[in-house]
């Protein structure tokens, strides 16, 4: 079983952020209750119901690795990873549907301006593997 995820408690203060891939073909918004929780992968994990794709779904392609249950979303034009769908994993562990969102896609926002709580939860996540 993976380590418990440290999703932050909602504070009652909500903010909506606009994001887009590098070329701008895919545009989306996330609504979250601060603070953002940033993982080592420079991503946050909002509830899926709080992620809205507003343009370019026809350019969003999926890449599946491992068991193939959590697709990574990639722009077919610029190759940028915009996020992924964690719904299947969250359901396996009784959680609410969540997405992974690449924080480097925030439009006109410096990460220095945001309240971000760093997380290293995946450092201890199984399975451990070695590449020879």
Could you tell me if residue 129 is inside a domain? no
Beta strands in the chain (DSSP E): 15-20, 27-32, 36-38, 43-44, 51-55, 60-63, 72-75, 81-85, 99-102, 116-118
Could you tell me if residue 94 is inside a domain? yes
Could you tell me if residue 108 is inside a domain? yes
Give the separation between CA 82 and CA 91, rounded to whole angstroms: 22
List, for residues 85-131, the tens digit of each pLDDT value. Answer: 999 988 888 888 999 999 889 888 776 666 666 665 556 655 666 67
Could you tell me if residue 49 is inside a domain? yes
Could you tell me if residue 120 is inside a domain? no
Encoded tokens for 81: 């990873």
List, for residues 5-58, the tens digit of each pLDDT value. Answer: 667 778 888 889 899 999 999 999 999 887 665 565 578 889 999 999 999 999
| Domain span at 38 | 15-115
The enclosing domain of 58 has a CATH number of 2.170.150.70
Could you tell me if residue 61 is inside a domain? yes
Could you tell me if residue 69 is inside a domain? yes
Residue 86 and residue 96 in contact, taking contact as beta carbons nearer than 8 Å:
no
Could you tell me if residue 125 is inside a domain? no
DSSP state of 34: S
| pTM score above 0.85 | no
Number of domains in the chain: 1
């Amino acid at each position: 079983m993976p380590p418990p995820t440290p999703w932050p408690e909602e504070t009652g203060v909500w903010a909506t952020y606009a994001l887009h891939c590098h070329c701008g073909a895919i545009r989306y918004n996330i609504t979250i209750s601060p603070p953002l929780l940033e993982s080592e992968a420079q991503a946050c994990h909002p509830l899926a119901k709080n992620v809205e794709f507003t343009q370019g779904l026809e350019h969003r392609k999926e890449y599946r690795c491992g068991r193939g249950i959590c697709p990574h979303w990639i722009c077919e034009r610029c190759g940028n990873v915009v996020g992924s769908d964690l719904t299947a994993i969250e359901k396996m562990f009784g959680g609410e549907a969540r997405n992974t969102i690449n924080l480097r896609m925030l439009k006109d926002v410096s990460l220095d301006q945001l309240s971000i709580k760093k997380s290293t939860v995946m450092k201890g996540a199984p399975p451990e593997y070695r590449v020879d």
